Amino acid sequence: MTKYREILRLTSLGFTQRNIMHSCSVSQKTVVKVQRRAKELGIEWPLEKSITDTTLQNLMFPKESNKSVTRRPPDLAYIRKELPKNGVSKKLLWTEYLEECKLNGNNPLMYSQFCHYIHQDEQKRRATMHINRKPGEQVEVDWAGDPAKIIDPDTGEIFDAISLSV
């Protein structure tokens, strides 16, 4: 939080903008902005003891104090249900989420933050287990998307790869 009170105090003592900038760890633009706004409002040092830093901030820059905009979080239960389906991607779900937010008048998350929420949810639900086996003893295949097809070269018959057993 910007130290408005300290900027006003140092200004009243005759410090230069550069010295105030270094002392309060703010930019010169901030120092100029606070000094200009205090002059417009007629705020001078010493301040009344009843004026707190928060009150001073709200008095000088009322719009900036209410900047924290809440954004609607994604419906993670719906995403968990939809994401495993064929043809569904995070980008598609985010686009649906944007449209829903627009219809309801909510502020949406950006794509990267949307994915971050999904990743956090996946981490909470991830269950892993190490399976000890000898190398080459078993083979596991994870098919993603449509099932693979195998064509019998002799008969031309088409089988789903999943339906075949070894």
Q: 12 and 61: one domain?
A: yes
Q: Which amino acid is at 148?
A: A
Judge whether 111 lies within some domain: yes
Cβ atoms within 10 Å of 86's Cβ, excluding its own: 7
pLDDT tens per residue, range 73-89 = 999 999 999 999 999 99
User: What are 132-142's pLDDT values in tens digits?
Assistant: 888 888 877 77
Claim to verify: residue 87 and residue 59 sit in the same structural domain = no
Which pLDDT tens digit goes with each residue over 2-45?
A: 788 899 999 999 999 999 999 999 999 999 999 999 999 898 88
Cβ distance 20 to 31 under 8 Å?
yes
Containing structural domain, residue 87 = 76-125
In this prediction the pTM is: 0.44
| 149-151/158-160 β-pairing | antiparallel
